[in-house]
Amino acid sequence: METTPLSQQQSPSAVLKVARLLAQVRSALFITGAGISADSGLPTYRGIGGLYDSGATEEGLPIEVLLSGQVFARRPDLTWKYLAEIERACRGAVPNRGHEVLALLERRIPRCVVLTQNVDGFHRRAGSKELIEIHGNLHELTCTACAWRERVADYGALTIPPACPACRSMVRPDVVLFGEMLPEPALDRLEKELDLGFDLVVTIGTTSVFPYIAAPVSLARARGVPTVEINPGESEVSDLVDLRIRAGARDALDAIWAALESGASS
């Protein structure tokens, strides 16, 4: 995915302002969407990957239907077919500099949390530990009947659809399918973090169409907390934030980190 270089935009001053904020804060929330993983070569289909922008599938059904909890309950083979297709599109890709910078910021800022919609697991692989994977992780497999679960690097060795090795029941990735509720542990963690509050909220590479993704920005604005958006396009929160960097996540975060490390943010 190509984005306009920072040098060709009105973004360098915003980069310095964000770096100065990061140099001062003791807590920060980073909200990430598909845009940060697009720089790893993943397509961006509204958060899972660019494969179905036309809406067409072999079955003639919208991808949101095939990747729904309702279809999984009736025809898990169909849902697994497209889950495996998404995983193949991600296979071989690795975290990029944007993911790395967020992991580095976690070591620099006393309380630093990443709230991600992405299911690719890249933040964890890059080293982020204070992580809320609100939509789950494609590589975490769990049995629908017993307590068996396992993390897999990829689906290459799986029979699709896979059966639980312990009880032979259906296995599924620990992700939120369309029409399903968000996981309670992740929601509870997010609520507790928002109750504590943050000194800075940064949204990165997301259209913020889900209310629970836009809400932290709205809440921060209401509390007078600085907010930043890193996104080459428009989003639901573009008119709410204090600072905007109209660039790709990787380039913007790398530039912000360079400014921090050079002392330009002092």
Residues annotated as part of the active site: 135
Q: Which helix (H) or strand (E) holds 56?
A: none
Task: Give which of 82, 91, 80, 85 is closest to 162, Cα–Cα.
Answer: 80
Report whether 98 contacts 122 (CB < 8 A).
no
**Residue whose entry in the numeric block shows the structure tokens 């995915």:** 1
Distance of alpha carbon 37 from alpha carbon 98, whole angstroms: 8
Alpha-carbon distance of 206 to 118, in angstroms, equals 10
Maximum CA extent, the chain: 59
User: Residue 247: enclosing H or E segment and its boundaries?
Assistant: none
Residue whose structure tokens are 């909200």: 31
Pair 227, 217: CB distance under 8 Å: yes
CB 153 within 8 A of CB 131: no
Q: Is 136 helix (H, G, I), strand (E, B) or coil?
A: strand
What is the chain's Cα-based Rg? Answer: 19
Question: Do 12 and 259 contact (CB within 8 A), yes or no?
Answer: no
Neighbour count for residue 204 (Cβ, 10 Å): 23
Report the alpha-carbon distance of residue 95 to residue 51 in Å, rounded.
20
